[in-house]
A and B are shown apart, each in its own frame.
Chain A
Amino acid sequence: MSNEHTIRNVVIVGGGTAGWMAAAALSRYLDNGSTQVTLIESEEIGTIGVGEATIPPLISFNSMLGINENDFVTATKATFKLGIEFVNWGGIGERYFHPFGGYAQDLQGVHFHQLYLRQRKRRRMQDISAWSMCAVAAANGRYARPGQGARPPLTGLRYAFHFDAGLYAAFLRQYAEASGAHRIEGKIVDVKLDSENGNVQSVTLADGQTIDGDLFVDCSGFRGLLIEQALGTGYEDWTHWLPCDRAVAVSSSYSGGPDPFTRSTAYASGWQWRIPLQHRMGNGLVYSSAHISDEDARELLLANLEGEPLAEPRHLSFQTGRRKLAWNRNVISLGLSGGFVEPLESTSIHLIQTGISRLLALFPDRRFNPIERDEYNRQVQASYEDVRDFIILHYNATKRDDSEFWNYCRTMSVPDSLTAKIALWRAKGRVFRDELELFATPSWVAVMLGQGIVPEEYEPIVDALDEEKVASALEQIRLGILQTSERLPTHGEFIAQILGQSRTEPELPEFVF
């Protein structure tokens, strides 16, 4: 298949989570005998690696690479995650759960949440999370991987992971190098552009070594060494919608079994994440520097740890927004060099992953067809905007009026796309998922209801279903979920089981003829 146009050298710049995810996937899928994948990283430059919480599509990324999930859990000290608990977001003292799996099941083509909304108008109903397998199991600290033969409601137990991003990068590095990726240690001091077409031609390292490439993947982090510093692509700023621009992160000790969920707690000028791993708790406060000082943010974070801090808190600055072109000339930006949306819905790693899948789907040759590049950029832009809108919803749909920060968020104007979504929901609880949209209907339902937007009516079509029958069906489903969750092992037990297994179940050599 390869010809004179085939990309011979892919150079990945930067070896954090994004770099090694890209190296692993590209080395696996470009194994055509003529494309070499090279990754340049410098041990002098730290990585961010705070994106420790993920969402379910990461499972497909791992399985696309043929990674055994138990090995991965062992290697990255991962725990399982069934969703996110939001505390103090809709109002102080309120909490809700955004589960990964859907709610119960749709009946006769009618969305479950519509049935729920009608019942709720008639009688006192439990919170909608009682119909989420994920939420109920999470509340009870339980988890087991649903097997292939799993039946409802257990099939609703969609999951993702919390893991140590540094260990994940190391794990993928091993994989990538075994698949033929080549790692070069070095600090890039210069970037040479092709004087004719403006493409990046090579990068020069501090030791004078020059690395040529046909295609460059910029995983250099916020600064965007190639995409911005060399190509001047431009950045679209979203700070007016998402004013948080700093974070301070620290890990802490904890005792007791790990919770199978991430917690996000809103404070006066930002919010704090809580991510349980096997061996420590990841914590961080995301805040708006216009509303709280770095020093106060640090104090606030440390005052709200459950255990002892394990290191000095690390400060990070960022600007929410996206690179105007994710793919410019022969440079593709992945990870923080492509844009930044705060990790409120654990989307950082996911945006890297979709960037990689799209790159594979639209992988260029040396002619760099602009139509393919435009399509890539269109899709990436849509992803960033979807995530952005979903995050904005959390800030905007709130009753909180206890600080300047919340007053700003509650009253700001939001993107038109989001305004329309909220309006559709407010009227009759309708949610429509667009083509490539990441978050499915149940996610919007969870956050809209959780943040206190209750639809005025439900869809008329619901009245075609008998109310009493629906009521008893809902009750049965709720009990089924509750009983199923009681039969699950605790999350800690399940992890212990995996760790035990992966010790006694090494890869078996095979006869291959």
Chain B
Amino acid sequence: MRGDRIRKVLIVGGGTAGWMTAAAMAKIMGEIPDLQIELIESDEIGTVGVGEATIPQILLFNNLLDIDEHDFVRATNATYKLGIEFVDWTRLGHRYVHPFGLYGLDMMGIEFHHHWLKGRSLGEPTPLDEYSLAIVAGLQGRFAHPRLDQRNSPLSKIAYAFQFDASLYARYLRGLSEAAGVVRTEGRIVDVVQNGESGFVEAVVLQGGGRIEADLFIDCSGFRGLLIEQTLKSGFEDWSKWLPCDRALAVPCELGGDHLPLTRSTARPAGWQWRIPLQHRIGNGYVYSSSHISDDEAAATLLANLDGLPLADPRPLRFKAGHRRKPWVKNVVSLGLAAGFLEPLESTSIHLVQSGIARLMTLFPTQNFDEFEIERFNAQTLQEYIDIRDFLVLHYKATERDDSPFWDYCRTIDPPEGVAYKIDMFRRNGRVFREHEELFTETSWLSVLVGQGIEAGGYHPAADLLPDSETLKRLAHVREVITQTAQVMPMQDEFLRQHGSKSEVALRRAS
């Protein structure tokens, strides 16, 4: 066993995916005496780094790396995030928030939303959003850490993530990685050497003639998939039928408008626009379908909808929704954009890197590269992509919008089986189930199902164990406690300032 060990890992590409992999691997595998981790990147090649919004799982990753949160927030100009606000998705003029964490409080052994549905049937009109502390506090610009020790406080039911500057995050992780012994090599790969018999990658050749050999290669080279696709021809499963957006334009702008701990996604005639407020600027981008709008029109739409002056020219990005058929082939594992692409509607890009790393650590190979284990890695990765895809498709499918060919297409398309099933289950009696270990929980599905206007025909019969008057009383109490709790939470800007973030600009401009 010991002789078969991997001795050299080469990470190809130094964007967010590359440095996340390097940092995690150095932390977990760094103690192995003769394992060498090297990362090659070229300053000539830009990184995409638009994935500035995250989901709460990022905390696990940061904890794994022993990252001090306040330090990290300062270093990456980060802000806090309690959820995503969706504007104009269900219909023009409509908005809802997909919150992190739970709604209300589970009672009588069933989820809160059944009591809410029962309340609706009794004529209680309050929207679901008002039963989520993350939403109520988030829309007021407030933030506080969850208090898991305060079980009867709604603060125990929220979760949070960050919005940050992805290139600063990569730089931060590079610092950690190099300190932990990762070797960084600057260089551009011009050739890849494969073993004549097995087809395994043996080395990469650099411009100028250098050559780096390794046992295991991690392909973080981005969309093109330098090793996984260009060399090993993994193949790509195309999902643009369900997710027709294939381009994006990204532009940062000065701070302006509100400064809430929320990412905002606004539906546009041929796609949607993100708005991610950081400490020092706002990240914006228009994700669109090139068959429904021209690049110029898209740029004009984006620039017309900024809250501050643009800080650069919009950067175009092209992509295709889908995933590498086999994210791991022979001795090459692809992570990040090299492995697949799903538009950042639910901020999953960084999470996909993170969960890929976790899977790789679990199934870390030996020189034998066991096919069984590789298949498992690939099957789990595929499932994760499918789960996220289904959740994204729900946003496009469950809409009343009929104001453009794009939305007509999305609304009338046959969704993947999983989506149809979830919608159907909810339509009957308000049931939401989380399948296998899918990333998005019942709460997430619930918020989007309800937010996008899917009506439940009934609710769990156990909700009737409470007399009607008691149900209404409890709903009112939950709303009241949430309103009061939001009042005692500090404003996010205040919170950031207290912990030494340089958000003075933000404070001045956001007010």
**A residues within 8 Å of B by Cβ?**
504, 506-513
| B152 adjacent to chain A (CB < 8 Å) | yes
**A508 in contact with B474 (CB, 8 Å):** no
Cβ distance A501 to chain B, nearest Cβ, rounded Å: 12
CB within 8 Å of A: which B111-161 residues: 147, 150, 152-155
Chain A residues near B350 (CB, 8 Å)?
none
Are B105 and A508 interface neighbours, CB within 8 A? no
Minimal Cβ-Cβ distance residue in B for A509: B484
* Residue from the list B152, B478, B488, B498 in contact with A506, Cβ < 8 A: B488
Cα–Cα distance between A168 and B105 once the two chains are bound (Å): 38
Whether B490 pairs with A512 at a CB distance below 8 angstroms is no
Q: Are A511 and B154 in contact (CB under 8 A)?
A: yes
Interchain CB contact (< 8 A) of A511 among B477, B490, B498: B477
Instruction: Check if B266 is an interface residue, CB within 8 A of chain A.
Output: no
Contact with A along B283-308 (1 / 0, CB 8 A): 00000000000000000000000000
Listed by A's residue number, 25 A-B pairs whose Cβ atoms lie within 8 Å are: A504-B490, A506-B488, A507-B488, A508-B150, A508-B153, A508-B155, A508-B485, A508-B488, A509-B153, A509-B480, A509-B481, A509-B484, A509-B485, A510-B150, A510-B152, A510-B153, A510-B481, A511-B105, A511-B152, A511-B154, A511-B478, A512-B152, A512-B477, A513-B474, A513-B477
Provide the residues of chain B in CB contact with A510, threshold 8 Å.
Answer: 150, 152-153, 481
B461-501 contacts to A, CB under 8 A, are 474, 477-478, 480-481, 484-485, 488, 490, 498
Closest to A512 in B: B152
Q: A513-B107, A513-B474 are in contact. Are A508 and B147 (CB under 8 A)?
A: yes
Q: Which residues of B contact A504 (CB under 8 A)?
A: 490, 498
Which residues of the other chain, A, contact B480 by a CB distance below 8 angstroms?
509
Closest A-chain residue to B157, C-beta based? A511
Within 8 A of A (CB), among B138-187: 147, 150, 152-155
Interface centre among A507, A511, A512, A513 (most CB of B within 10 A): A511
Interfacial chain B residues near A508, Cβ < 8 Å: 147, 150, 153, 155, 485, 488
A506, A507, A509, A510: residue with the most chain B Cβ atoms closer than 10 Å: A509
Q: Bound state CA distance, A506 and B152, in angstroms?
A: 15
| Chain A residues whose CB sits within 8 angstroms of the CB of B152 once the complex forms | 510-512
User: A509 near B488 (CB under 8 angstroms)?
Assistant: yes
Q: Name the B residues within 8 Å of A511 (CB-CB).
A: 105, 152-154, 477-478, 481
Complex CA–CA separation, A510 to B478 (angstroms): 9
Residues of A within 8 A of B147 (CB): 508
B297 CB to closest chain A CB (Å) equals 48
A510 to B151, CA, bound (A): 8
A248 to B294, CA, bound (A): 88
- Of all chain A residues, the one with the shortest Cβ separation from B107 is A513
- Chain A nearest CB from B469 CB (Å) reads 14
Bound-state CA distance A71–B175 (Å) is 42
Q: How far is the CB of A416 from chain B (nearest CB, A)?
A: 55
New contact pairs (18) apart from A511-B477, A513-B474, CB-CB < 8 Å: A504-B490, A504-B498, A506-B488, A507-B488, A508-B150, A508-B153, A508-B155, A508-B485, A509-B485, A509-B488, A510-B150, A510-B152, A511-B105, A511-B478, A511-B481, A512-B152, A512-B477, A513-B107
Specify which chain A residues have a CB less than 8 angstroms from the CB of B107 in the assembled complex.
513
In whole angstroms, how far apart are the Cα atoms of A507 and B107 in the complex?
24
User: Quick one: closest A residue to B474, CB to CB?
Assistant: A513
Q: How far is the CA of A511 from the CA of B476 in the complex (A)?
A: 11
Chain B nearest Cβ from A250, distance in angstroms: 38
Rounded to whole angstroms, the CA-CA distance of A229 and B105 in the bound complex is 60
* Complex-state Cα separation, A504 to B147, whole angstroms: 13
The docked-state distance in angstroms from the alpha carbon of A513 to that of B498 is: 35
**What are the 8 tightest A-B residue pairs by CB atom distance, in nearest-first order?**
A510-B152, A509-B484, A508-B153, A506-B488, A509-B481, A511-B152, A509-B485, A511-B105
In Å, the complex CA distance between A458 and B373 comes to: 77
Point out the residues of chain B lying under 8 angstroms from A507, CB to CB.
488
Residues of the A chain whose Cβ atoms lie less than 8 Å from the Cβ of B105: 511
**Chain A residues positioned under 8 Å from B150 (CB to CB):** 508, 510
Chain B: CB-nearest residue to A507 = B488
Q: Which residues of B contact A506 (CB under 8 A)?
A: 488
In angstroms, how far is the closest chain B Cβ from the Cβ of A55?
A: 32
Q: How far is the CA of A462 from the CA of B467 in the complex (A)?
A: 73
Quick one: which of B21-67 are within 8 Å of A by CB? none
A90–B45 CA distance with the chains assembled, in angstroms: 82
Closest Cβ of chain A to B243, distance in Å, is: 40
- Smallest CB–CB gap between A98 and chain B, Å? 38
CA distance A297 to B498 in the complex (A): 49
A68 shortest CB reach to chain B, Å: 14
Q: Which residues of A contact B488 (CB under 8 A)?
A: 506-509
**Distance in Å from the Cβ of A498 to the closest Cβ of chain B?**
16
Most buried by A among B105, B147, B478, B488: B488
Shortest beta-carbon distance from B488 to chain A in Å: 4
- Measured between beta carbons, the chain A residues less than 8 angstroms from B154 are 511
- Return A499 CB to nearest CB of chain B, in Å: 13
Measured CA separation A512–B477 after assembly (Å): 8
Residue of B nearest to A500 (CB): B498
Tell me the bound Cα distance from A509 to B154 in angstroms. Answer: 8
Contact code string B3-30 (vs A, CB < 8 Å = 1, else 0): 0000000000000000000000000000
Q: Whole-angstrom distance from the CB of A174 to the nearest CB of chain B? A: 18
CA distance A115 to B155 in the complex (A): 54
Q: Closest Cβ of chain B: how far from A497's Cβ, in Å?
A: 14
Which residue on chain A has the smallest CB distance to residue B486?
A509
Roughly how many angstroms separate A511 CA and B484 CA in the complex, as a whole number? 11
**A413 vs chain B, min Cβ distance (A):** 60
List A contacts of B484 (CB < 8 A).
509
Which residues of A have CB within 8 Å of B498? 504
CA distance A509 to B155 in the complex (A): 9
Among residues of A, the one whose C-beta sits closest to the C-beta of B155 is: A508
B157–chain A nearest beta-carbon distance, Å:
10
B147, closest chain A residue (CB) = A508
Using Cβ atoms and an 8 Å threshold, which residues of chain A touch B490?
504
Q: Which residues of A lie under 8 Å from residue B474 when comparing CB positions?
A: 513
Nearest neighbor of A508 in chain B, beta-carbon distance: B153
Q: How far is the CA of A513 from the CA of B107 in the complex (A)?
A: 10
B311 to chain A, nearest CB (A): 33
Task: Report the Cα distance A504→B488, complex, angstroms.
Answer: 9
Q: For B481, what are the chain A residues with a Cβ–Cβ distance below 8 Å?
A: 509-511
User: CA–CA, A504 to B477, complex, Å?
Assistant: 25
Report chain B residues within 8 Å CB of A513. Answer: 107, 474, 477
- Of all chain A residues, the one with the shortest Cβ separation from B483 is A509
B407 CB to nearest chain A CB (Å): 40
B152 to A: closest C-beta gap in Å: 4
Alpha-carbon distance between A512 and B150 when the two chains are bound, in angstroms: 12
B470–chain A nearest beta-carbon distance, Å: 9
Question: In whole angstroms, what is the CA distance A461 to B485 when docked?
Answer: 62
Bound state CA distance, A79 and B299, in angstroms?
Answer: 62
Q: Which residue in chain A gives the minimum CB-CB distance to B490?
A: A504
Interface centre among A504, A506, A507, A508 (most CB of B within 10 A): A508
| Distance A477 CA – B152 CA, assembled complex (angstroms) | 44
Complex: A509 Cα to B150 Cα, angstroms: 10
Residues of B within 8 A of A512 (CB): 152, 477
How far apart are the CA atoms of A508 and B154 in the complex, in Å?
9
Docked pose: A511 CA to B133 CA in angstroms: 12
